[in-house]
Structure 1
Amino acid sequence: MLEKVGAEVLAERERVAARARDELVAAGLPVVAPGLNRALSQGVEVTVDPFDDDAGGVSVAWRSSPRLESCLLRAAKLNLLDDPAFEHQRVVLDAMLAAITAILESAGFTVRNSLNDYAPCTLDVPAGPSGSPSWGLREEELTVSGRSTGSGGSAGGSEY
């Protein structure tokens, strides 16, 4: 039986997953909300595995639109192996996983192809950055124009 990781490790995985979601949204990618019904979801799916094994941790996958997935299921059920949806889905997955990898690595994450044999088209994200994100508020954005908070200045003045 697989053992679960401790509370500290799980909390770190949750932090990395949340930060990865934020970075991917900041880049403009749609991100699947945790717990969203699979029939309604499309975009980047970031999940946390609570188990202590090589395949555990933070996983990232691309979920194509429900319509494309429906076409794939239909072709598979009818054994239509030459259906163009299969090749298109492969190209989509390759492109999106490459883009996700580039975005996360640029933001300071460690990204690798999944070690989980049951999830071949996913990425593992074993570690993430701890500093401020590149898209975060800058100090100069927090300063109100025309107001001084230093000595000698008037915080209540009207210097606009």
Structure 2
Amino acid sequence: MIELATSEVMGRRENLAGHVRDALAAAGLPIAPPDMSHQLISGGASVRVDKLADCHAPVRIDWRTNHVLMDAAMEAGVGTPTFVHYMVVLEGMLHVMKEILSSEGFETRDSTNDFAPFTIEVLRRPDGTSAWTTAGHISSIGFPGARH
């Protein structure tokens, strides 16, 4: 039987996802709204929370290229120069996002989920010991809506 995470656990996961979105946005990356249809997203980081009690990771990040590149790659097919370029962009952006989050102290890893191979899994947020965190800076300047 599939068991969903409790509302308390989901609250912690949503908070983690918010910190991830803030960190990626502070680096200048576009962030896809979490509840927007994938067909309407023009590109950017898609940060999602896992709702299952027993999950691979509480937060997952995908990179969405602009639909022009994605459609061209899917139409061209695997092994074509267009598809190879699409994969270079996808893998490159996943690597960059992992580096950005690691620099802020997030614990991340490549996907352990065979059904979502091109994602980053975020396991936990910074413990406050890294030299820079977006959340710490936002809190220090008293930005309304800052997460703690």
What is the match of residue 21 of structure 1? 21
Tell me how far apart the structure 2 counterparts of residues 4 and 137 of structure 1 sit (CA, whole Å). Answer: 32
Q: Deviations over 1:34-90 (max 9, x none)?
A: 1222122110000011102242420001001100111122123xxxx4421111111
- Indicate conservation of the 8 Å contact 1:50/1:56, yes or no: no
User: How far is the alpha carbon of 1:7 from its aligned partner?
Assistant: 1.9
Equivalent residue pairs, number = 137
Q: Is the Cα contact below 8 Å between 1:54 and 1:115 reproduced in 2?
A: no
- Where does the alignment leave 5 or more consecutive residues of structure 1 unmatched? 143-160
- SS of structure 1 residue aligned to 2:85: helix
Amino acid corresponding to residue 21 of structure 2 in structure 1 = R
Q: Is residue 82 of structure 2 the alignment partner of residue 85 of structure 1?
A: yes
One of 82, 103, 116 as aligned partner of 1:119: 116
Secondary structure of residue in 1 paired with 2:138 = coil
Quick one: percent identity of the two aligned structures? 36
Cα RMSD after superposing both structures = 2.1
| Residues 104/128 of structure 1: CA separation in 2 closer, same or farther (3 Å cut) | same
Q: Which amino acid in structure 2 is aligned with residue 48 of structure 1?
A: V
Which residues of structure 2 form unaligned runs of 5+? 144-148
Looking at structure 2, the residues matched to 25 and 13 of structure 1 have their Cα atoms a distance apart, in angstroms, of 18
Which residue pairs with 1:151 in the alignment?
Answer: none
Residues 54 and 37 of structure 1: CA distance in aligned 2, closer, same or farther (over 3 Å):
closer
Q: Is the 8 A contact 2:60 2:121 kept in 1?
A: yes
Matched letter for residue 67 of structure 2: P
**More displaced stretch, 83-92 vs 20-29:** 83-92
Shift of 1:6: 1.6
For residues 138 and 37 of structure 1, do their structure 2 counterparts lie closer, same or farther at Cα, with a shift above 3 Å needed? same
1:47 aligns with 2:44: no
Runs of 4+ in 1 over 6 A off after TM superposition: none
Q: Higher relative CO (CA 8 A, sep ≥ 6), structure 1 or 2?
A: 2
Partners of 2:120 and 2:100 lie apart in 1 by 13
CA distance in 1, matches of 2:5, 2:35: 21
